[in-house]
Structure formats: structure tokens, C-alpha cells
Amino acid sequence: MKKQMIHTGFLLVVLFNIFISLTQCSDSFLHTSIHRQREHKTVLLTGAAGFIGSNFLQYMFDKYPNYTFDVLDLLTYAGSLENIPDYIRKSNRFNFFYGSVTNPDIVDLVMSRADYVVHFAAESHVCRSIFDDLAFFDTDVMGTRVMMRSLVKHTSTIQRYIHISTSEVCGTAETQPMDEEHPINPRSPYAAAKAGADRLVYSYWCTYDIPALIIRPFNNYGPQQHLEKMLPRFITAAMKGEPLTVHGTGEQSRDWLHTLDLARALDKALHLEDFSKIKNQILHIGSGIATSVVTIAKKILEHFDLPEDYLQFTPDRPGQVACHISSTEKARKLLDWQTEISLEEGIKDVITWYENNRARWQRMEGMKHIPVQTSHGTITLQ
């Protein structure tokens, strides 16, 4: 009898331990399931058929297999679905919405689906804004207003909103490096439109306490950039053995930021554990190193073994900015971010892309120069 009781007691202890183990496994499974569910996010990217947005899309798509990506894009001259790789376009984690950020109905539709939003959509070429500025104020300012009105409606579901501004809103450096307190002094219609959008976002977070962050990248470059921009224009001219046209003396300097380094900064901003540290903040994203335009041109000529007499100097662009150089302190402190790609490495990367994608950029050649009237009244192609 005593042995039977001991045996029965032993079985009860075993059964109890099994029960506890199963309960713990169940709790662990439930916790894991909830964790995995939280990992899924829908990320809305406006303008992601363009240069910066498409590079960011590819970076994020490859890194976060549980995320769904919605892209809203009007496919203007600077945007193309070719910029988005086939494997992304064919994925059930990708949704494309054709339309403008100035359309409240489609904006509300895509915003209602989103957890995170990164607003890239903008007209972005300085010379083109001098030629005709209407589209810049329509897309950059009025489009951002539509985005802001929609964000106010959806603050209960949208967790983070990043507005992509630009260092151009600051104009020429009054202090070096240029920190986030630098005065807003836009020197072109493009910069003025971006400044209007920048300040509009600021006003909305002051008024409505929206979960927004303003990022001001410095001079972006990388694969898939339109030929109207300086680096692709220089590279493709050198590939064809044509002169590299330089505005003014070429001594104007810029802080060059590879688009992959920007993607890493945006990724950190979207996933910073304590968003309150960067909510309603402005961050300058750059390398902290300024390099002149003519130095870049000479690097490209050297790569292609072309002499410096291939440099062709043209009248300077109206509203030219003499110097841009980013402060890196705030981004390093809040995001633990700094650039990883050197200018030399980045230029080689971009050259390789243009060498491997001739058919893509050759279709853009007729759009790489814009007629601009200088202060002297002459018309030049810039």
C-alpha cells in the first residue's frame, strides 16, 4: 500500500511537471506569435519609383522579410518602375498605387493601410525649377499639405512619419558645419518649395503633435540617379568621351552622401526603440566632408584616363550655393549613425552601375540639360 502511494505520488509529480512545461511552452508560443505579429509592418513610401526612394525600398525589402511595402508614385519623368527590381514588383509584399500626393482620396487610402510612412515624393532639380517652378510648389508644398492632413486623420494607426527634406533649404553655409539650427535661406525655387514643405511639417507637429521627423539629406548620389543630376551627367559624358560641363569655376563644394548611407539612417530612425528621442526633431544627414564640384569632375576624368582639358566651364547657375557641409553630431548622438561609404568608393560604385546599365540611361539623354536664363540675360543649357 505504501509503495503504491509513493508510486502514485511520483506519477502526480511527473504529470504536474509535464503540465507546467506545456503551459510554459504555450506561453512561449503565444509570446513568439505576438512578437512575430508585431514584427509585421506596412510601410508606405511616396515617390519610391524615383532615385532615392527606390534605393531605400530595395534596402528595406531585402532586410525586413515580414514587411509589406506600398508605393505611391505618379511616374513623372524622374520616376520609373524600372527602378524597382522585378523580384520586388512580383512579390505579394509589394503594392503599387499610381497617383499623385496632391490627390486626397488616394493619399487617404494608402495612409489608412500604413504603420510607417516615408515621404520622398517631390520635384527635385534646381535647374528645372528655374526653368519652370509651378510643379515644384504643387508637388512639394501642396502635396505635403495633403500628406499632413491625412496624417492627422490617421495618427491612431501611423506610428512614425519621416518627411524627406533637403539641405538646400538652408542655402549657402553661414556656419561650418551646418547644424540643424542653421537659418532657412533657400536660394532657388526648388529650395524654396522644399523649405515650404519643411516648415509645413514643422507647423503640423506644433499644432497636432503628429509622430513626425524631418530628415535633411545633403547631396545624394548613387545608382539609378537621373542624368539631369551632376554625377550621372559627368560619368556618362566621360563614358562617351564628351566634355564634362562645370557650372562657374566649379569651386562650389558639397557634402556628398551615398544613397545607401541615407537608407541606413532612415532605417535607424524607423526602428529606434524609443521614438520619443527623435519625434518632432530635425536631423541633418551627411558625411561632414565638403568636396568641390571640379574635384569630383577630375576624379571621374582620372578614372576614365581622360585629360583635364575635357573640363568645359559654363556660366554659373543662378542662385548657386557656394558651400554645403553637414554637422554629423546630432545624427550620431540620436541614431548612432555615420556614413560608411567613402566618396572614392561611392563614385566607383556609381560608375559601375552606369557602365552596366547603358540602355537605361541612354533613354534619358535628351533630358539631361535644361535651358536657363542667367542674370546677364543669356540662355545656357545647364
Confirm if 147 and 85 have CB atoms less than 8 A apart: no
Question: Which DSSP string do the residues of 271-284 spell out, in sequence order?
Answer: H-S-GGGTTT-EEE
Looking at the structure of the chain, the number of domains it has is: 1
Confirm whether 10 is domain-assigned.
no
Report if residue 116 sits inside a domain.
yes
pLDDT score at 140: 95
Given a contact cutoff of 8 angstroms between Cβ atoms, the answer to whether 93 and 107 are in contact is no
What CATH number corresponds to the domain at position 180?
3.40.50.720
User: Does the pLDDT of residue 2 top 50, yes or no?
Assistant: no
> What is the DSSP annotation of 331-374?
HHHHH-----S-HHHHHHHHHHHHHH-HHHHHTTGGGS--EEE-
Classify residue 75 by burial, with Cβ atoms within 10 Å: 0-12, 13-18, 19+.
middle
What phi, psi does 71 have (nearest 5°)?
-120, 125
Question: Do the domain assignments include residue 119?
Answer: yes
pLDDT score for 129: 67
Whether the ω angle into residue 307 lies within 30 degrees of 0, i.e. cis, is no
**Cα separation, 342 vs 216, whole angstroms:** 20
In a domain, 35, yes or no: no
Whether residue 34 lies inside any domain: the answer is no
- Within a domain: 24: no
pLDDT at position 27 over 80: no
Share of the chain above pLDDT 90, in %: 75
Tell me the torsion sign for CA atoms 172, 277, 203, 119.
positive
**Which of 30-39, 124-133, 176-185, 281-290 is least confident?**
30-39
pLDDT-derived band of residue 365, with 50, 70 and 90 as boundaries? confident
pLDDT at 1 over 60: no
- In this prediction, residue 280 has a pLDDT band, given cuts at 50, 70 and 90, of very high
Residue 23 maps to a domain: no
Residue 376 confidence (pLDDT): 58
Hey, what's the cell of 13? 509529480
Which residues span the domain enclosing 88? 40-373
Question: What b/e sequence results for 46-69 when a residue is b if at least 16 CB atoms lie within 10 Å of its CB, and e otherwise?
Answer: bbbbbbbbbbbbbbbbeebeebbb
